[in-house]
Chain A
Amino acid sequence: MSSDYSPPATPHGGADSGAVLDGNAAAGDFAGILASDPTTVMVRCGSCGATQAFGQLSAYLGGPGTVLRCRRCEAMVARVARTPRGTWLDLSGSSSWLFLPTPGPA
């Protein structure tokens, strides 16, 4: 994985083709909030019911906050936004998060 970006950034997540990444790219952000590695968590979409690993969700970075969408139906599953008031975590688009036990030092 490598990432860099070309200004100007598109406002409001506009048609900036190729800017859709995956949950791996948002993992650093969420790792500061969750106690364990987020990428292996199985997330169930609240809209279509599809279950996918956090690492496979579509990630939209660079807007106001980070938005994660279901790869199947594109509904918003989770988002995190850092503001002067604090960090907002919105999981309303997901119906469950399954944390699997993972070996390894991560």
Chain B
Amino acid sequence: MTDTTSTGGQADGSAEEAPPGGIHWRKATLIGLHPQSWHSRTLALDVPGWTGHLPGQHVDLRLTAADGYSAQRSYSLAEPAASSRVAVTVDLLPHGEVSPYLVESMELGDELDVRGPIGGWFVWEPGDPSIGGGPVLLIAGGSGVVPLVTMLRARKRAGDSTPTMLVYSLRGPRDLMYGPELEELSADLSAPGSAEVRLVYTRKIPYGHPRPASHLAIEDIEPPSAWPEPLAVRVYVCGSSGFVDHATRLLHKAGYPDDRIRTERFGPTGADR
């Protein structure tokens, strides 16, 4: 798929006369590119008419080929809301149908269709009364870190000091997304907007990393000593289906009830229309 002729969104029969604030397809133009890891990059899109979004929400992207064939995929929003700018971070799936185009081929000025923002369940808005003073635990598997980093950015921007820890599970050093930002975020835990970050490498560790390579374990989700209470009031878990199931089991073992856990799974889908 190399050509993205927009079709104005009649392909899937969704209501184009959506009510204000409703969800419908909009044309978007690629305005920024930023490499993120060896196999992922962040794409910034300009979406005229975009009315903002919440940290944790996602968008559907739709590519349409010259012959009318179209494919759509869901991607988490990678930045807190700012005017008509929408960003996603896309991880390359080698045999994928859409991600190779987004990660390797798409160029500035190219167009595609965007629908969203979608989802109010996997959302952390700074100041959310149901979270109160926290603490909040964020658990990421691979590119599941994207919506969680968006939450951290929104929290920092809002001057929110809810005690927060990110536990980020990844295969090896070259898979690290947002490395410099996470380092800065956790360098001085007394700084406003800072957060504890634990990197859990599952296959290969960078030189000098204190934790040996192994899968996420219950010790990894133990609360930092600075937390006022042993359990977070809210846990967000994002990753592959298998990772989310594994993390959920660990959380149950650590004493978390279901109503404190919010999850979002991603994986290969064939949601084509």
| In the bound complex, CA of A13 to CA of B74 (Å) | 19
Q: Are A28 and B118 in contact (CB under 8 A)?
A: yes
Q: Are A56 and B121 in contact (CB under 8 A)?
A: yes
Contact count band on A: 35 or more
Q: Answer yes or no: B90 CB below 8 A from chain A CBs.
A: yes
Q: Answer yes or no: B230 CB below 8 A from chain A CBs.
A: no
User: Which of B21, B90, B96, B241 meets A21, CB within 8 Å?
Assistant: B241
How far in angstroms is the closest Cβ of chain A from B213? 22
The 8 A CB mask of A74-106 against B (1 = contact, 0 = none) is 000000001000110000000000000011111
The 8 A CB mask of B162-185 against A (1 = contact, 0 = none) is 000000000000000000000000
User: Which of A5, A35, A103 meets B269, CB within 8 Å?
Assistant: A5
- Given A1-B147, A105-B21, does the pair A6, B96 have CB atoms closer than 8 Å? yes
Q: Are A54 and B121 in contact (CB under 8 A)?
A: yes
Return chain B residues, CB-CB under 8 Å to A106: 21, 53-54, 57, 117-120, 123
Stretch in contact with the other chain, from B7-15, B190-198, B201-209:
B7-15
Q: Are B121 and A2 in contact (CB under 8 A)?
A: no
- Given A4-B98, A61-B270, A62-B271, does the pair A35, B22 have CB atoms closer than 8 Å? yes
How far in angstroms is the closest Cβ of chain B from A106? 5
Q: Answer yes or no: B60 CB below 8 A from chain A CBs.
A: yes
Return chain B residues, CB-CB under 8 Å to A53: 121
How far in angstroms is the closest Cβ of chain A from B139? 14
Chain A: CB-nearest residue to B119: A39
Return chain A residues, CB-CB under 8 Å to B143: 2
The interface on chain B, measured as residues whose beta carbon lies within 8 A of the other chain's beta carbons, has a size of 63
Q: Are B264 and A22 in contact (CB under 8 A)?
A: yes
Chain B: CB-nearest residue to A66: B271
Q: Are B74 and A39 in contact (CB under 8 A)?
A: no
How far in angstroms is the closest Cβ of chain A from B229? 24
Q: Are B121 and A4 in contact (CB under 8 A)?
A: no
Q: Answer yes or no: B253 CB below 8 A from chain A CBs.
A: no
Q: Answer yes or no: B272 CB below 8 A from chain A CBs.
A: yes
Q: Answer yes or no: B161 CB below 8 A from chain A CBs.
A: no
Q: Are A28 and B76 in contact (CB under 8 A)?
A: no
Q: Answer yes or no: B242 CB below 8 A from chain A CBs.
A: yes
Return chain B residues, CB-CB under 8 Å to A23: 121
Contact residues of A between 39 and 64, Cβ < 8 Å to B? 39-40, 53-56, 61-63
Contact residues of B between 243 and 273, Cβ < 8 Å to A? 262-273
| Residues of A that sit less than 8 Å from B by CB | 1-7, 9, 16, 18-25, 27-29, 31-32, 35, 37, 39-40, 53-56, 61-63, 66, 82, 86-87, 102-106
| Residues of B that sit less than 8 Å from A by CB | 12-15, 18-19, 21-24, 51-54, 57-58, 60, 72-76, 81, 88-91, 93, 95-99, 115-123, 125, 143-144, 146-147, 238, 240-242, 262-273
Pairs A-B, 10 closest by C-beta atoms: A62-B270, A55-B121, A4-B96, A39-B121, A32-B14, A9-B270, A6-B95, A61-B271, A5-B268, A37-B120
